[in-house]
Amino acid sequence: MKVGIISFAHGHAHAYASSLVGIEGVELVGIADEDRDRGASAADTYHTSYYQSYEELLEERLDAVVVTSENARHAEHAVAAARAGAAVLCEKPLAHTVEDAKRIIQVCEEEGVLLQTAFPVRFNEAIKRAKQRIDEGEIGEILAMKGTNRGKNPGGWFNEKELSGGGAVIDHTVHVVDIMRWVTGSEVQDVYAEVDQLFTEKDIDDSGLLTMTFENGIFATLDCSWSRHQNFPIWGDVTVEFIGSKGTLTVDAQGQKFDVFQNNGLEYAFWGDDMDDGLVRDFIASVKAKAAPSITGTDGLRALEVAKGAYQAAREKQPVSVSR
């Protein structure tokens, strides 16, 4: 299978590339990146070819493409890959606007290519076991949920609204909303949010508190922020508490770690699941089998609609319905 990566703008690109080169039968044909230094360095690291233009890379008749560019360029790159007949794994959020996300989905459907949204948290063992136990009815009917996704400001283009579509709220909402949707099988009906800039000098939202009502009546809250110190790991906090009629189940997706206290501070040593590797291997398996993706473009769209609805609710200071 011939696979290419478009852009190393997103930090997850390195994790995805590391996985791809370790899968038997997969050839990482090349990396395209307008930033020559960044792209050439990545190509050298993963022993593949560098292309300054993604159009040139797509001429290689690829079977699949991983899109890890700036959010605002996801549509451009995913659509081009689909038009070239390649399956697409697109970094989250699926796009920086709902309109672009819908366009990606539409074009992939028109071209008959697989589209998967990169939600690696679904491949966390604790999350998977929690879903299994809830599906088996262990805690009864889900009544409410409480989630967090807090980390540090990733910097760079993430702080430029025209490239990112927003700050912490769009960056950190989509992961947890996807897990809540996946576990409950229900869609968010309406959302209210308080959004602010409290931790950074950049003109970008770095904190948010969402309240959501799902179509089946479940009530949920989410603390999504870039509130952590710069020494905190970017992938450092994803928790969900499920409150059921028979009990409560709390999941810490990042709990597989050691906290080592030293004279110069706390060392965070993660030893657990490689969620990114699970995501990439699942994508490749689906492409090989010509099967439906486990995480669809629509999954990406639904999570994005909630994040965008949160921004609207914060501006209007009232709950908003999530569009369908």
Task: Say what the pLDDT of residue 269 is.
Answer: 76
In which domain, by residue range, is 106 found? 2-113
Q: Is residue 291 part of a domain?
A: no
The CA distance from 42 to 48, in Å, is 8
* Same domain assignment for residues 150 and 59: no
* Same domain assignment for residues 61 and 202: no
* Same domain assignment for residues 71 and 191: no
pLDDT band at 29 (very low <50, low <70, confident <90, very high): very high
pTM for this predicted structure: 0.94
Q: Is residue 160 part of a domain?
A: yes
Task: Say what the pLDDT of residue 234 is.
Answer: 56
Is residue 202 within 8 A of residue 159, CB to CB? The reply is yes
Number of domains the chain contains: 2
Burial (0-12, 13-18, 19+ Cβ within 10 Å), 324: exposed
Domain final residue pick, 88, 113, 138: 113
Structure token digits, residue 80? 């081009």
**Interval 230-282: pLDDT, tens:** 777 656 689 999 999 999 999 999 888 777 777 776 677 778 789 999 999 99
| Amino acid in position 201 | E
Domain final residue pick, 83, 113, 143: 113
pLDDT band at 194 (very low <50, low <70, confident <90, very high): very high
CATH number of the domain where residue 174 is located = 3.30.360.10
* Same domain assignment for residues 42 and 181: no
Q: Is residue 257 part of a domain?
A: yes
Q: Is residue 299 part of a domain?
A: no
Task: Say what the pLDDT of residue 273 is.
Answer: 85
Averaged pLDDT, 192-198: 97
Using DSSP, state whether 141 is helix, strand or coil: coil
**Interval 30-80: pLDDT, tens:** 999 999 999 999 999 999 999 999 999 999 999 999 999 999 999 999 999
Task: Say what the pLDDT of residue 233 is.
Answer: 64
* Same domain assignment for residues 172 and 263: yes
Give the residue from 152, 128, 120 showing the smallest Cα distance to 12: 120
Domain final residue pick, 81, 113, 145: 113
Is residue 254 within 8 A of residue 235, CB to CB? The reply is yes
Other residues' Cβ atoms within 10 Å of the Cβ of residue 259: 8
* Lowest-pLDDT choice from 17-21, 265-269, 288-292, 315-319: 265-269
* Same domain assignment for residues 84 and 143: no
Task: Say what the pLDDT of residue 260 is.
Answer: 77
Is residue 267 within 8 A of residue 260, CB to CB? The reply is yes
* Same domain assignment for residues 68 and 196: no
Reply yes or no on whether the pLDDT at 176 is more than 60: yes
Q: Is residue 34 part of a domain?
A: yes
**Interval 90-118: pLDDT, tens:** 999 999 999 999 999 999 999 999 999 99
Averaged pLDDT, 126-148: 97
Q: Is residue 317 part of a domain?
A: yes
